[in-house]
Amino acid sequence: MADHKLPLEDLRVIELGTLLAGPFTGRLLGDFGAEVIKVEPPGKSDPMRYWGKSKDGVGLWWPIQSRNKKSITLNLREEEGQKILKELVKEADIVIENFRPGTMEKWNLSYEALAEINPKLVMVRTSGFGQTGPYKNRAGFGSVGEAMGGLRNVTGFKDRPPSRIGVSVGDTLAALFAAIGCLVAIHERKQSGKGQVVDTALYESVFSIMESIIPDYLLSGYIRERMGNILPGVAPSNIYFTEDKTYIVIGANADGVFRRLCKAMEQPELADDPRFATHDARGENMKLLDSMIEEWTKTLPAKEALAILEEKGVPSGLIYTAKDIMEDPHYKEREMIIYKDHPDLGEFPMPGIVPKLSRTPGEVKHVGPEVMGKHNVEIYHELLGYNLEQLKALEEKKII
């Protein structure tokens, strides 16, 4: 356990919703010490408990996504459950929800209703299209956000259909922006004494990272398309085949870096060749340049080519699999693979904390709670003051 105070220890978060975007926001806050209370309907768990690969019947995604969280059960569809949530809101700083807009209002849990109880409350609302606008009532998963945010159209190769990136990047981006917005609102609360709504849309989170596609279109008439592994007009920046039948990435598009690449290839004259001497020239002759670089990489095993490139100061790397990550000493030194005890699986590996803070770094205290409602007694009895008979009655009525 950490021997320092974690930076968000003074915050209590109620996490509603399921799957990715909302819960990932909760994970990010929990990594830095926030008390995150995960709410699931009794008898109907978050599907994330069972998504992905499993080991001995245990889903391998849940222990990571819900690490550091406490688990309670509560039926928000019933008035009694709604009243209990409002009692929790009195004791909370943040509510995270990622239902379709209007759901919280249908349950009498609008921000206005909750802010009457706790004016300092920050409500983080993540949805496909945001809380306003003509699309607000549409269902929206990360895949739809990636499509309508512009990312899918530029992902893949020109002669093939748009492709999915290999992880749920739309949800993850939304969670990152939601966490930033949440912390901004908490910071502002110190000045105003008031909470507010953080409205994060999946499609907007994707669109916000789409670089210059709008001025490209409006000011130059260019619609960016799928380009595979290259950057249009930026060279060299690609993957290159090696002697041992693998690929390495090389990024050497800046003039000085390109000159170092030419020295690594033992072809220093290429740096002054008019076809490659400037950024624009390299972009215009990208295919030729990439073929010349690959002619060099194909003569060497990947590790040998990378050692030469590293020695010359050329940004480069192997395209890692999970196996490569586990064997990499840098990952180990930076504590990016950590192990936490799991009651059924023993030592459970997972990604470490990002970012690294020098004085008050984050911490993973435990894996995601393996049992729904594991912390019901702690939260309802110790925090809210319900006696054990009341809890038993609530269980019988399927409120918790």
Position 12: which residue type? R
Q: Render pLDDT for 3-13 as a digit per residue (tens, 0 to 9).
A: 789 999 999 99
CA distance 80 to 302: 63
Quickly list H helices, the chain: 21-31, 62-65, 79-90, 103-106, 111-117, 142-148, 169-192, 202-207, 213-220, 255-264, 279-284, 286-297, 302-311, 322-327, 329-333, 376, 388-396
Tokens coding 171:
């949800």
For all residues of the chain together, what is the average pLDDT?
96
Round to whole Å and give the CA distance between 314 and 367. 39
d(CA 338, CA 363): 10
Cα distance between residue 32 and residue 22, in whole Å: 16
Residue identified by tokens 């009692």 is 87
Give residue limits of the domains in the chain.
12-209+333-396, 237-241+247-318
From the candidates 31, 171, 199, 290, which is the catalytic residue?
A: 171
- Domain 237-241+247-318 grouped into CATH 3.50.50.60: no
| C-alpha to C-alpha distance for 397 and 400, rounded to whole angstroms | 8
pLDDT band at 54 (very low <50, low <70, confident <90, very high): very high
CA angle 169, 174, 179 (to 5 degrees): 125
Band of pLDDT at residue 182, cut at 50, 70 and 90: very high
Residue 11 is encoded by which pair of tokens? 């915050």
**Which pLDDT band holds residue 323 (cuts at 50, 70, 90)?**
very high
Tokens representing 281 are: 């020239």
- At 373 the pLDDT is 97
Mean per-residue pLDDT for 303-311?
98
Residue bearing tokens 């992905």? 52
Is 318 in contact with 248 (CB distance < 8 Å)? Answer: yes
| 93 labelled catalytic | no
Q: Which CATH class is domain 12-209+333-396?
A: alpha beta
pLDDT score, position 231? 86
How many Å apart are CA 249 and CA 306, to the nearest integer?
9
37 pLDDT band, cuts 50/70/90, is very high
The predicted pLDDT at position 1 comes to 59
Summarize the confidence of residues 25-31 as an average pLDDT. 98
H-run or E-run covering 375: none
pLDDT at 299 over 80: yes
Q: Cα(81)–Cα(89) distance, rounded to whole angstroms?
A: 12
pLDDT higher than threshold 70 for residue 333:
yes
* Residues ≥6 apart with Cβ < 8 Å to 202: 21, 126, 127, 128, 129, 140, 141, 142, 144, 145, 149, 170, 171, 173, 174
Share of the chain above pLDDT 90, in %: 97
Q: What is the per-residue pLDDT for 2?
A: 67
Look at residue 191 and tell me whether its pLDDT is greater than 90.
Answer: yes
pLDDT at 232: 84
* Average pLDDT, integer, range 316-333: 97
SS3 297: helix
DSSP code for 47: G
Q: Across residues 317-335, what is the average pLDDT? A: 97
Instruction: Report how far apart, in Å, the C-alpha atoms of 270 and of each of 234, 262, 360, 366, 397 are.
Output: 17, 6, 48, 54, 77
Q: Is the pLDDT of residue 342 over 80?
A: yes
What's the whole-number mean pLDDT along residues 217-225? 95
pLDDT of residue 28: 98
